[in-house]
């Protein structure tokens, strides 16, 4: 059985990626921050490891046991130093693996915002990058991750997820919390469109990539629904949920990277991703399934799961 190590399993994406690998029959070890998060993943037959991703030198045993390492630890407080530490740990694990034989697969999570504003003409994973200033360092991190494939026994794939939604909330927490408050505040002009992906579909893509790593090594893939979703459609969907209750919508100048990304227009062509992996998003878009996603978000806010 293939051993998988998930880094960043305390996070929204990491939890669902851990569960997807477990359902697919992999032996999963997931790094979490505390015992409560460990208990939650143990319920899904996942072996939790309580530790600090910023101290990968303390996790050598787990890196060496893994056939597949998946880094989902991306967050907007992360630093280049943290990512460099992970990449160095993967490199060393690959070198040790080469000494005893065998292959190591590494899936590095980047960010669709490294592609910047695409406008309505759209872009693919091969388009020129125009990263937001706050995450420009991720471009170098992608290059450093892909450089690991120079070792003959290391297979690396970079994934760039779109805005993630579904289950406990994801990127559109601000819409749901604003809906409850009667006042939705959004950064930008309200005229942009966003590339999105349901967290379950994204998690399935990680599994597909791991299964097909021998033919995917060295690729950068994007994870998004076939169609983008306009902010205007998202607002209309929220107002339908509110029924007769009045919902105000306000705009403000983006104050951080997260808000700058939400203010972009990103139309992403994912034909290459679908063709080489056999993956196809199956969940409804955020607008199509907004009522169910809202109910899930409300349940999660009563009791975090």
Band of pLDDT at residue 113, cut at 50, 70 and 90: very high
Using the predicted structure, report yes or no on whether residue 305 has a pLDDT greater than 60. Answer: no
Average pLDDT over residues 158-171: 93
Q: Is 288 helix (H, G, I), strand (E, B) or coil?
A: coil
The proportion of the chain whose per-residue pLDDT surpasses 70, expressed as a percent, equals: 98
Question: How many structural domains comprise the chain?
Answer: 1
CA-CA distance, 258 to 116, in Å (whole number)?
12
> Which run of H or E residues covers position 219?
none
Instruction: End-to-end CA distance of the chain: give it in Å, rounded.
Output: 28
Domain assignment present for 302? no
Domain assignment present for 52? yes
Using the predicted structure, report yes or no on whether residue 244 has a pLDDT greater than 90. Answer: no
pLDDT digits (tens, 9 = 90+) for 274-302: 999 999 999 999 999 999 999 999 998 87
Domain assignment present for 29? yes
Using the predicted structure, report yes or no on whether residue 75 has a pLDDT greater than 80. Answer: no
Domain assignment present for 279? yes
- Quick one: residue 8, left, alpha or beta (phi over 0 = left, psi -120 to 50 = alpha)? left
The pTM for the full model equals: 0.95
Domain assignment present for 94? yes
User: Which residues does residue 29 pair with via DSSP β-bridges, in sequence order?
Assistant: 5, 47
Enumerate the H helices of 43-79 as residue ranges: 60-65
Using the predicted structure, report yes or no on whether residue 12 has a pLDDT greater than 80. Answer: yes
Band of pLDDT at residue 234, cut at 50, 70 and 90: very high
CA-CA distance, 30 to 4, in Å (whole number)?
8
Domain assignment present for 235? no
> Residue 77's pLDDT is what?
62
> Residue 304's pLDDT is what?
47
pLDDT digits (tens, 9 = 90+) for 173-219: 999 999 989 999 999 989 999 999 999 999 999 999 999 999 999 99
Average pLDDT over residues 93-112: 93
CA-CA distance, 129 to 251, in Å (whole number)?
27
Average pLDDT over residues 235-240: 94
Q: Tell me the angle at which helices 137-147 and 80-100 cross, rounded to the nearest 10 degrees.
A: 0
Domain assignment present for 230? no
Domain assignment present for 176? no
Residues spanned by the domain of 214: 3-166+196-224+268-283
Which CATH number goes with the domain that contains 22? 3.40.50.720
Using the predicted structure, report yes or no on whether residue 303 has a pLDDT greater than 80. Answer: no
> Residue 225's pLDDT is what?
97
Average pLDDT over residues 8-33: 96
């Amino acid at each position: 059985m293939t051993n998988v190590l998930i880094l960043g399993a305390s996070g929204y994406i990491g939890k669902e990626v851990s569960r997807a690998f477990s359902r697919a029959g992999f032996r999963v070890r997931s790094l979490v921050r505390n015992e409560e998060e460990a208990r939650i993943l143990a319920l899904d037959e996942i072996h939790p490891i309580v530790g600090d991703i910023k101290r990968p030198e303390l996790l050598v045993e787990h890196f060496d046991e893994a056939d597949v390492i998946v880094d989902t630890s991306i967050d907007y407080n992360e630093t280049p130093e943290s990512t460099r530490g992970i990449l160095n740990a993967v490199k060393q694990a690959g070198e040790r693996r080469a000494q005893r034989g065998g292959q190591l697969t590494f899936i590095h999570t980047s960010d669709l915002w490294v592609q910047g504003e695409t406008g309505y003409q759209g872009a693919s994973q091969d388009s020129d990058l125009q990263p937001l200033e706050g995450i420009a360092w991720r471009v170098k991190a992608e290059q450093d991750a892909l450089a690991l494939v120079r070792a003959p026994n290391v297979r690396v794939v970079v994934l760039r997820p779109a805005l993630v939604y579904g289950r406990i909330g994801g990127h559109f927490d601000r819409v749901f919390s604003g809906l409850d408050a009667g006042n939705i505040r959004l950064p930008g002009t309200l005229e942009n469109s966003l590339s999105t992906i349901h967290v379950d579909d994204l998690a399935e893509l990680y599994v597909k990539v791991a299964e097909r790593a021998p033919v995917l090594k060295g690729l950068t893939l994007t994870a998004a629904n076939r169609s983008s979703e306009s902010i205007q459609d998202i607002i209309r969907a929220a107002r339908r949920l509110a029924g007769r209750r009045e919902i105000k919508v306000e705009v403000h100048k983006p104050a951080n990277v997260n808000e700058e990304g939400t203010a972009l227009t990103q139309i992403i062509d994912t034909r290459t991703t679908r063709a080489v992996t056999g993956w196809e998003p199956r969940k409804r878009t955020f607008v199509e399934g907004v009522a169910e996603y809202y109910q899930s978000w409300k349940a999660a806010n009563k009791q975090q799961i």
